[in-house]
Structures are given as C-alpha cells and as structure tokens.
Amino acid sequence: MTRSVVITGVGAVTPLGVGARALFERWARGESGIEEGLGRCSEFDPTERMSKKEARRADRFTQLAVTAAGEALESAGWNGSPPVEPERVAAIIGTGIGGLESLGTQQDVLRDEGPKRVSPLAVPLMMANAGSAAVAMRHGLTGPSFATASACAAGTDAIGTAMRMIQSGQADAAVAGGAEAALTPLARSAFAAMGATSESGISRPFDARRDGFVMGEGAGVLVLEDAEIARARGAEVLAELRGYGASSDAYHLTAPDPEGSGAARAIEIALEHARVAPEDVDYVNAHGTSTPLNDRSETEAIKHALGEHSTEVPISSTKSAIGHLLGAAGAVEAVATVLAIRERLAPPTLGWEAREEGLDLDYVPGKGRELPEGAIAISNSFGFGGHNAVLCIGAA
C-alpha cells in the first residue's frame, strides 16, 4: 500500500507580500505585485526571522527560503520540533540559479581588491544548496537535504521529489519548496538577451499581446507528511499531494516543444500517479509565463492531456500577479493552488483580454472562479532545458 502524503503547512514570500495568505488573497482580489516591470519582494525583511548573523551568512534567496519555511512550519503546528524523529525529515529546496547576487558581489571584490579579499563566506553564500542547508540547520532536520536544479521547474521538482521520498519510506515528513532572488542586472540582461523577458514590463499570460515574462523573486515552502502520521497527531490537513509527474522535452536548449508533448506527458504521469482521470481535474494552475512560446505550447499540452475536458476546466496563471519567480515559481504556485482548493476559488489570470487564435481555453479572465467542494487541481512547471514537472493536489 503506497503511503498517502498530505500538506500540513504552507509558507510564501512573494511580490504580493510576506505570507501565503497575502499571496492568495491579494491575487484573488486581482491585485498585482509587479512594479516597474519587476516582481520584487519589497516588503521582505530577513531579520524578522533571522538573527543579524544568520542573515549576513545567507544570500537573499536563502533568506527568502528560511522565511517561507518558518511560516510553513508554524502553520503545520510543529512548534519548534518535528512530530517524527528529525532524521526522518527531509529538506528539499529547489532554485534556478542560487546565490547570484553574492557571486556578483564577490566577483567585484576579486576584480577591484584582489584574490586575498574574496570573502570566506562566498561559497556558502552562493551555493545552490544553501537554501536547503539553512532550512535543515535552522530546524535541526537531519534527514536527506539537497537542492533540485531544473530551472523554472525546480520548486515543483523539489516538492515532487520530497513526496516520492515519503512514499518510498526514505523520510516520514519533508520541508520542500523553492527560492529565487536573481533580480540582478546580470540576470536581467541575460534573460533579456535571449528574448525571454517582457519589454513592456507587463505579465499577461495567454493574452495575444504577451511579450515575455516579468522577472520576480520569492520563495514558497510546503510541509509534507505521511498522512497517517499527520492524522495521528491531529494535524490540520490543508490538502493532499496526490501525484507528481516529470519528463523532458529533449528538444531545444530553451524553446519548449511546440506540440507540448513532453509537458502533456508530465501531466499524464502526475494524474496516473494520483489515480485521477483527466475529466476529474477541476482547476489548472498553469505555468503561464506570458512568453509567446510557453503559453502556446502549454495550451497544446493541456489540450492533449485533458482532451475534451480541457475546454471546461478553469486555467489561471499566478505569474499574472507576481511575475515569474523562476526556481521558486512552482513552489509558490503549489502554495497558491492549495489555498485555491481550500477557499474554493480559482483566482483570475490578471490582464487577460485579447484572445489569440489557438489559445482558446478558459484562462479565467477578470474575476476568480468558484471551485467545487473536494476539488482536484494540477500545477504545471516547465524549465529552460526542457524540464517538465507537474503536481496533482486534491482537497483534504
């Protein structure tokens, strides 16, 4: 008998504010956290949850991860210690890039002051696994901990990997998510150079006028537990993590397969893992980046995987409100999906007005859409390199 995995805690830091509720409620009200073409976490203060010393030993992406994890563990009611042996708890935090700002700072030090002045903190600040290390260390979690690196699918792969670890018996619980803080001039120039980011600075997924993604930063973290352990301790179960599917396009360095066949396969695997029929999906939290290529191939993928039901299911993109959080995106969107199921509301795709030929699904324009009781949702994430990862989340 495969173990069931439930979600007992959520935490997020996003351009809509600090906290999972701020993310969901503001998005549901149609508010955007994007300012001047960027999704910055301008309200974030790392010292709210970290000492001065901890904060200076952490890159911003790690600070975001620690803050989201702190909220997730509080909401799970762990109260300072896990409900199982700490060695049975995994900490998996994905990131697209890691400590890019720290790397840039130290590159400047090397150039301007010489090799002897490079900080001894340079490596622990910039390493991509710093988020998972900091979360494990802070909460004394001694099970497996590492980062997943699959670009914009990293957060989703972290959560899916943690789910599989619990199901296989490698852990009983996990703190899993993603974090990103890459709004540096270098990263912005680099994404602009490949034509991925929006020149207009407007995130409007699936709209005919979309012209690229808006870069954002943030973190999302979930607490996952074996369902029986959560039940035994009387935990409030927020939702059930029912399935995870992953695949690769093996098609192009950055462009998605236009047919969306790899992405469709990831959706199908996630549904199969969840034992959910395509027609039982009540909501799709899309990857929906607002790039011309993604939104078209994702639409194809959804059509392929959900068949005729694809025209009936509400599909919305969190990125319309916060931009693209890269390696944190899938984790933040999983948090939003959990709350959408609980609140029985699919928030809208902000800014959607103009239909493009072939992009003819229900992208939830204008206002949010009511979801049925006991809803089942999927959350899609696709990364440069052809990484596809999909979670299936169901009501508790």
Task: Note the residues at the interface with other proteins (CB under 8 A).
Answer: 51-53, 56-57, 116-117, 119-121, 124
Give the pair of three-digit tokens for residue 128: 């991509």
Residue 51 CB, nearest approach to other proteins (Å): 7
Nearer to other proteins, 118 or 237 (CB): 118
Nearer to other proteins, 52 or 357 (CB): 52
Smallest separation, CB 98 to other proteins (Å): 18
In whole angstroms, how close is the CB of 120 to other proteins at the nearest point? 4
Say if CB 104 and CB 76 are below 8 A apart: no
Q: Which of 41, 139, 273, 324 is catalytic?
A: 324
For residue 47, give every residue at least 6 positions away whose Cβ sits within 8 Å of its Cβ, in sequence order, or none.
55
Question: Which residues, 6+ apart, have CB-to-CB distance to 238 below 8 Å?
Answer: 6, 7, 8, 9, 10, 75, 338, 342, 396
Which is nearer to other proteins, 119 or 189 (by Cβ)?
119
Task: Answer yes or no: are the C-beta atoms of 227 and 396 closer than 8 Å.
Answer: no
Report how far residue 241's alpha carbon sits from residue 122's, in angstroms, rounded to the nearest whole number.
37
Instruction: Provide CB contacts within 8 A for 95, sequence distance 6+.
Output: 61, 128, 131, 147, 149, 154, 178, 179, 180, 326, 327, 328
To other proteins, the closest distance from the beta carbon of 77 in angstroms equals 30
Nearest to 349 by CA among 207, 211, 174: 207
* Nearer residue to other proteins within complex by CB, 54 or 211: 54
CB of 115 to other proteins, least distance (A): 12
The CA distance from 211 to 292, in Å, is 6
Q: Which of 79/116 has CB closer to other proteins?
A: 116
Q: Return d(Cα 180, Cα 61) in angstroms, integer.
A: 5
Q: Which DSSP category does 3 fall into?
A: P
Q: Which residue has the tokens 């072939």?
A: 358
Q: Toward other proteins, which CB reaches closer, 57 or 309?
A: 57
387 is catalytic: no
- Write out the E strands in the chain: 5-14, 17-18, 89-94, 145-146, 173-180, 218-226, 239-248, 283-285, 315-316, 345-346, 369-370, 376-383, 387-395
d(CA 281, CA 33): 28
- Is 287 labeled as catalytic in the residue annotation? yes
Catalytic residue, chosen from 139, 273, 287, 387, is 287
Query: For residue 261, is it left (φ>0), alpha (ψ between -120 and 50) or beta?
Result: alpha
Least distance (Å) between residue 7 CB and other proteins: 35
Q: Closest separation between CB of residue 375 and other proteins, Å?
A: 46
For the annotated catalytic residues, the residue numbers are 152, 287, 324
